[in-house]
Amino acid sequence: MAKKWKITVDRDLCIGAASCVALAMKTFALDSENKAVVLEGEGDPPELIKLAAESCPTKAIILVDEETGEQEYP
């Protein structure tokens, strides 16, 4: 079964590097302040979302397992 995460972006940590957008453009975008936001909808495969989170230089992307409620990244 595919992983489902609750994805949040810590806007105080986000510096707009856009590595998340480059890797998972169905899941992340930059807003008018050049900060990452999570897009609504299906998004990208879980592996790509995890890669995108890991690519963030400031670890601003937080992944929480929707089933267990455990934070999986960072």
For each of the domains in the chain, give its residue range(s) and CATH number, in order of start: 5-68 (3.30.70.20)
Residue 2: band (very low, low, confident or very high) from pLDDT cuts 50, 70, 90: low
The encoded tokens of residue 45 equal: 């495969």
| Cα 2 from Cα 54, distance rounded (Å) | 18
Report the alpha-carbon distance of residue 34 to residue 50 in Å, rounded: 21
Quick one: how far is CA 24 from the chain centroid? 8
Spatial neighbors of 50 by CB under 8 A, at least 6 apart, are 3, 63, 73
pLDDT band of residue 1 (cuts 50, 70, 90) is low
pLDDT more than 70, % of the chain: 97
Q: What is the mean pLDDT of residues 25-33?
A: 97
Coil, helix or strand at residue 57: coil
Predicted TM-score (pTM) of this structure: 0.93
| pLDDT of the residue at 13 | 98
What is the reported pLDDT for 24? 98
